Structure 1
Amino acid sequence: MSKESVEQYIEKHPKNIQEITVNLRQLILNTSSEWTEEIKWGMPSYSINKNICYLQASKNHVNLGFYHGAQLEDPHNLLGGTGKQMRHIRVKKMEDIDEDSLKLYVKNAIQLDQS
């Protein structure tokens, strides 16, 4: 069985969710040139030496998740989740994507994991 690609993962979802996922993926990839992008735990996962963030698409939204999000600063009060480590930002429509804010979270997550 061949491994699922990120493109195949995206194609399985409704058009509006595909659009959000593609945009978030691009935002993540544009934040660093050092990413390793792969499907882990059934979703696109992004790492630089360690797992940093992931995209989890569902029928009505996409979560931009952070493996160590509990330690991230949350200046825009966007992080959700109550797990011990992980947090996510839920994106329900394209208009919810504030590139500057989201890039800040991704950059902070990279810095957190490099320290």
Structure 2
Amino acid sequence: MNPSERIDELIAGITDWRGKTFAGIRKCILEADPEIIEEWKWMGSPVWSRDGMIAVANAHKGKVKLTFAHGAQLDDPDKLFNAGLEGNARRAIDFLEGDRVDTRALKKLVRAAIDYNHQHLKKNAPKAAGAKARASEKA
């Protein structure tokens, strides 16, 4: 079973409001960028990545938590982050029963995470690209 199928199965197994919220979050993330990859990590956590991890989601008793790997580095003008605010790296959004997923703001935050990943990788890219070019020239 591939990661997307596992996530489908996970969401289908959550029969209360959390399943619907989880599905809405997932849909929003995938719509933010067509190159986002779904992964299944840590013995049962859906993870979304593009050039590095963007976010991980989990359904807990009473909430659905969406944690951004580099959330502390992201601008959050719409004030979506409401958990993990004291951390140096991660930030999270706890969705409670009755909360609406602000799709516009969440997509914007996902795109900011992708931009962060691109910038972070570009810092190290010139060395790696230069080394590869030199290696292929020698071959």
Tell me if both proteins adopt one fold, taking TM over 0.5 as the criterion. yes
Q: Within 5 Å, which residues of 2 pair with 1:1-115? A: 5-41=6-42, 42-79=44-81, 80-81=83-84, 82-93=86-97, 95-115=99-119
Gaps of 5+ in 1: none
The higher radius of gyration belongs to 2
TM-score (norm 1): 0.87
Percent identical among aligned pairs is 32
In 1, distance between residues paired with 2:109 and 2:71?
9
In 1, distance between residues paired with 2:64 and 2:99?
13
Runs of at least 4 residues off by over 6 Å: none
Q: More deviation in 71-80 or 24-33?
A: 71-80
TM-score (norm 2): 0.73
CA RMSD in angstroms comes to: 1.8
Relative distance call for 1:102 and 1:72 in structure 2 (3 A) is same
Is the 1:44–1:54 contact (alpha carbons within 8 Å) kept by the matching residues of 2? yes
Specify which structure has the higher proportion of strand: 1
Q: Which amino acid in the other structure matches residue 44 of structure 1?
A: P
How many residue pairs align between the two structures? 114
SS of residue paired to 2:21? helix
Larger relative contact order (CA 8 Å, sep ≥ 6): 1
